[in-house]
Structures are given as structure tokens and as C-alpha cells.
Amino acid sequence: MKKNTMTLTNNMTGDSYEYKILEGTRGSCVVDIRTFFADSGMFTYDPGFTATAACESTVTFIDGGKGELRYRGIAIEELANNHTYLETCFLLLNSRLPSEEELYKFDLEIRHRAFLHEGLRHLFNAFPDNAHPMATLSAAVTALSTFYNDHLDMTHEEEFLEMAHRIISKMPTIAAFAYRHSLGIPFIQPDIDLGFTKNFLTMMRAYPGGKMHLCANGHEDIKDVEVRALDTIFTLHADHEQNASTTVVRGVASTGAHPYVAISSGISALWGRAHGGANESVIAQLEYIGSVENVEAFIKRAKDPDDDFRLMGFGHRVYKNFDPRAKILKNLQDELREELNLDTELMAIARKIEEIALSDDYFISRNLYPNIDFYTGIILTALQIPKSMFTPIFVIGRTVGWITQWIEFKKDKTSKIARPRQLYIGE
């Protein structure tokens, strides 16, 4: 009978070491090498931790080869098409979808917690009006820990959930205030009569006195399709396993720091263009291409190994098939274009690039399919949301994932402070 172990042999010394193979409920098995240094006197070497599992988790599962993404075992397609973002938040926090009554109470609590302490609201005045909203957002969330400094020794489930509900509800308000401060225009307070996503759009667009900024359809109202589109984007960004920003959140959590400080660290990590800032780069590149007539030339440049130009929004480090979130957003983009009668030059450029990439063997053979960033940027532009707010919107959606991962880490009795080792090659 085969043992559920792996044997590693040191060919220099002839010593062998045996380690357990651990099986998850889905995906790859892992080799438990926690005693490897004690056994051999050596560390493993894995830059970027691309072959290392740093934790056990029940939150999110990804199969990059199959193009599969699940929250708490439920396929992303089911959640995006049949459930709201708040239902998804409840699922991540409670490991199940809410009943009708539970959703009503959860929604009501989130609406009433959306207001900021007046002292925090005045903090925005200390920032220059040309500050990027992500910088302001990160600083304001760190400051949030000064107003709610009682979350270092939580012991009951109710305490964890209160802390989580508070940050989820306040993040859209902080993001909207950061945006409006960057423009030097008055803040719009949350409206408890509005749902989560419509309330955020209102705080972004409205003027004092109830007047609305002209939205994508040329009218002053916020159309249901716009709310549905943004709500779907929030859902698709809610969690994504142990990505860079989530790893940062867990790393800060391991030090015992305040949960909101850990979230602020995640915001800073997400800001990078190699992570959450990629959708800004997509739109910047479409603007740079300029017109549909220029697309062929830029495609040619992208395929030239001697040219540094690379198409933004194609391919994914994890998904070696079509990103399942991108499929959902492609359908959403088409729906927006029809219902809002949108057919901008940027959309036409993106459509031409997509058409070529999905039929060109160069892209297909390299698994360079359009990813979530490609479609997110186009949709947010269609909703008249400026590029500077693309990543803050990512933050709003991802907040529930970060705080869920933080809670899971804190409840894990085997968790330790993060402390990777190194291969020293200096003097």
C-alpha cells in the first residue's frame, strides 16, 4: 500500500527525509515541509512564493487551468448572475448565503454604518486636493483604527462581524470622499434609503441639494443597469485567494496589528500597476492607441519580440484559460452598450483588439485571453467613472475578502508571524 508521503533525498550527503502529502477538498495536494529546516539544516527557495502554500483556507478556490473561481464552494457565475454583492459579502463572512430576513437585517446595518465619524471626515482637509484617491483612501483607513481601537482582542463571533460590517460599510464612503476631495467639491453624505451600490454612485455623482451629475445615458437618474454593472464588478473582486494584497493583509495580521491597519496595507499593495492598478493601464493604453485604424499596427508591435510594447489586459498569472470573471464582464459590457446606447471610440478600439486576439494563434497559443482588467476599465469608463477611481472601486469590492481572510487567520490556532527566510549572496 502506497504511503501518503514524499521522500526527499540529499544527493550530496545521501540523507533522505520523508514528509506528509496533504490533500485539500479541491485542487493540488501539498507537501508539508514545516520540519524541513530542523531535519536538513536547509531552507527551500521559492521567490514570489509561487510554489508555496502559506495557509489552509476555506474561503476561495481557483483552478487556473479550468478557469474556475468559487467563493465558499459556490461558482462565481452563480453569484455574479443571481446574487447581489451584499449577499456575496454575507456568504464570505458566514460561509453560507443569507435568508431573506438575514439579508434585510444585514443590508439595514450596512446602510446605517456607512457614515463617518466627523473627526475622520475633517481629516480629508489635511490632504492636498491633487492627491491620488488611493493614497487618501489608505491613509483614511489607517486613521479609522484610531476611532475604533477596541479590535485587538476579539473573542466572540459577534465582535468579529461587527468589525467586518463596519469596514465594509464605510469603505464606499471613504472612497467617494477621497474622490470628491481630489476635485475640491462638497462631500455627499450616505443615504440610508439607498442600497449599497446605488448609494456609492450617488455619493460620486450628486451635488448638494439632491441634483445629480449627468450619468452615462445623458439623464440625471442612475439606471438599474448601471447599478447592476457596478454591483457585479464588486462581486467579481470580492476575493481571489492568496494574491499579493491578501498576502500582505495576512502578513500584517500575523504581527497582531489592528485589522483596519492590515486592510490599509492591503490597499497600498493593491495600488501597484502589477496588481489592482492594471485596469487604469488598460484605459491609458486604449487612449494611447487612439483609433480603430491604429489597432493593427499595435497588434503587430505586441507580437514583435524586439519591441517593448505589450498589450495591457491580456493573460493572467493564475488563469491559463479564459478568466471566468472576464467572461461575465464581456456579457455585461455588451448589455451596457445596448441599454445605454454607448458606442464610444474606446469601446470600438477595445472591441477590435478583442476580436483579433481571440482569433489570432499568437495570443491563443500563449493563453493571452482578455482578463478582468481589460473589461473592468472599459465598463467603468462607460459608467463615467474616472481612471483615478478604478482601483478604489477594486478596494471597495475586495474589502470583504481581506477582512474575511484576516478573521480566518486570527481564528487559526496554528498561525504564526510571517517570517520568510533568504539565500544570502552578499559579502
User: Which contiguous run of DSSP H or E holds residue 326?
Assistant: helix 324-339
Give the residue among 350, 352, 353, 348 at the shortest CA–CA distance from 303: 353
pLDDT at 343: 66
CA dihedral (53, 56, 59, 60) positive or negative: positive
Which range in 131-135, 161-165, 360-364 is most confidently predicted, on average pLDDT?
161-165
Contact (CB, 8 A) for 53 and 62: no
What does the CA dihedral 156, 157, 162, 168 come to, rounded to 10 degrees? 140
Q: Burial of 214 by CB count in 10 Å (0-12 exposed, 13-18 middle, 19+ buried)?
A: exposed
pLDDT score, position 209: 72
In angstroms, rounded to a whole number, what is the distance separating the alpha carbons of residues 73 and 60? Answer: 7
- Angle of CA points 248, 252, 253, to nearest 5°: 115
Residues forming beta bridges with residue 206, ordered by sequence position? 212
| Residue 106 scores a pLDDT above 70 | yes
Beta bridge partners of 68: 63
Q: Which of 76-80, 378-382, 409-413 has the lowest mean pLDDT?
A: 378-382
- The arithmetic mean of pLDDT across residues 45-74, rounded, is 93
Query: pLDDT at position 208, please?
Result: 79
Q: Is it the case that residue 134 has pLDDT exceeding 80?
A: yes
Q: Read off the pLDDT band of 151 (50, 70, 90).
A: low
Sequence-ordered list of residues with C-beta below 8 angstroms from that of 24, at least 6 positions apart, any chain: 30
Q: State pTM to two decimals.
A: 0.92
C-alpha distance from residue 45 to each of 173, 423, 424 (Å)? 43, 7, 11
Residue 307 backbone dihedrals phi, psi, to 5 degrees: -105, 135
pLDDT confidence of residue 410: 93
Highest mean pLDDT, choosing among 153-167, 198-212, 214-228 = 153-167
Provide the 10 A C-beta neighbour count for residue 44.
Answer: 13
pLDDT at residue 337, as a whole number: 81
Cα gap 103→397, rounded to integer Å: 18
Local confidence band at 2 (pLDDT 50, 70, 90 cut-offs) = low
* Residue 92, Ramachandran bin (φ over 0: left; ψ between -120 and 50: alpha; else beta): alpha
Q: What is the DSSP code string of 153-166?
A: S--SHHHHHHHHHH
Sorted by where each begins, the domain ranges of the chain are 5-68
Question: How many whole angstroms separate alpha carbon 282 and alpha carbon 372?
Answer: 11
Report whether 315 contacts 283 (CB < 8 A): no
Predicted local distance difference test score (pLDDT) of residue 105: 98
Query: Tens of pLDDT along 308-337?
Result: 888 888 888 788 778 899 999 988 888 888
At residue 396, the 3 state secondary structure works out as helix
Higher-pLDDT residue of 284, 209: 284
Catalytic center residues: 316, 373
Q: Which residue has the cell 457614515?
A: 115
What kind of architecture, by CATH, is found in domain 5-68? Single Sheet (2.20)
Rg of the chain over Cα atoms, rounded to whole angstroms, equals 23
Q: How far apart are CA 249 and CA 269, in angstroms?
A: 9
* Most confidently modeled range among 92-106, 123-137, 312-326: 92-106
Rounded Cα–Cα distance for residues 227 and 135 (Å) = 26
Highest mean pLDDT among 192-201, 359-368, 411-420: 192-201
